[in-house]
Amino acid sequence: MPRRKRHRIVSREPPVSIFKPAGIPARELREILITVDELEAIRLADYLQMSQRNASDEMKISQPTFNRVLTSARRKIATGLVEGCVLRIEGGRYVLADGTGHLECVNCGETAATTEGYEQPCPRCGSTDFKWTR
């Protein structure tokens, strides 16, 4: 049985959610989805220039997992810039570091007001698919 995926710790919600080339309507462009945890990896490694070890500790994930998240984010951003795509930032498996908001089960809507135990399945339906809401 595969291990349940843990949520990644993110410092804050992204200030913007879409980047696109100027002068071209978004409906005419291909869209690339970058998850919030991928953006956090870019912020820590490239913007703040943290080592992968320190950044992975910050996100509460292993260094190899951090490397995979970072590589995926860089590939998506490079593709978007080179090919002129819309970059949309949303979703992913994450919780905010400040603990504000709550987790909501995607399947049944059950809520949990804390980040403690966020890797546990939903007590109502057993799902491990959650979204973070404020």
- Number of compact structural domains in the chain: 2
| Residues of the domain holding 113 | 99-134
Nearest in space to 42 (alpha carbons), one of 80, 85, 99, 83: 80
**pTM, to two decimals:** 0.72
Same structural domain, 132 and 72: no
Residue pLDDT tens, the chain, 134 long: 566 666 788 888 888 889 999 999 989 999 999 999 999 999 999 999 999 999 999 998 999 999 999 999 999 999 999 999 999 999 887 778 876 556 677 788 777 644 444 456 777 888 777 666 65
Which tokens belong to 13? 């919600």
**110 and 80 fall within a common domain:** no
Q: Which residues contact 75 (CB under 8 A, 6 or more apart)?
A: none
Question: Are 3 and 55 contained in the same domain?
Answer: yes
Domain match, 37 and 63 both: yes
